[in-house]
């Protein structure tokens, strides 16, 4: 499952305030928060899937692209500081690229870091999808 979610937009004359809450836009308990920054525009990251991890990717500054692949459909999502968040479910291949120099990509995760949850080979990812279909 992958979809864009929009924050609750609040604010007044003092400025804007965007809110993502567990009861609304985030369908999981957040157990890990990290962010990417200072990524060179010609560098790509990711190239993995997670067996059972959900994430919400939010571009806080600049912009980047996230390629999402569910084994059948490959989509490119452009994230900017005003685009909301990209909700990425488990068993979804992801690649991140075309980072602007000022890009800060915040990621909220449903679980703490666990190397055994990563699938780092696209061929293994496709094999696991086939097994799950059966």
48, 50, 77, 82: the catalytic one is 48
Strand 55-61, strand 85-88: pairing:
antiparallel
Active site residue 48: yes
Question: CA 58 → CA 43, 47, 107, 130, distances in Å?
Answer: 19, 18, 6, 30
Those residues whose C-beta lies under 8 Å from the C-beta of residue 110, and which sit 6 or more positions away, are: 28, 29, 30, 31, 53, 54, 55
Pick from 43, 133, 54: nearest CA to 92: 54
- Return the active site residues: 48
């Amino acid at each position: 499952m992958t979809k864009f979610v929009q924050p609750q937009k609040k604010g007044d004359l003092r400025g804007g305030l965007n809110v993502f809450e567990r009861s609304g836009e985030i369908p999981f308990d957040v157990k890990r928060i990290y962010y990417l920054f200072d990524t060179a525009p010609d560098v790509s990251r990711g190239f993995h899937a997670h067996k059972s991890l959900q994430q919400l990717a939010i571009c806080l500054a600049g912009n980047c692209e996230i390629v999402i692949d569910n084994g059948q459909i490959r989509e490119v999502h452009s994230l900017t500081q005003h685009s909301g968040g990209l909700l990425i479910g488990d068993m979804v291949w992801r690649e991140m690229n075309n980072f602007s120099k000022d890009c800060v990509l915040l990621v909220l995760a449903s679980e703490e870091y666990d190397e055994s949850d990563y699938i780092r080979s696209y061929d293994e990812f496709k094999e696991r999808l086939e097994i799950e279909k059966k």
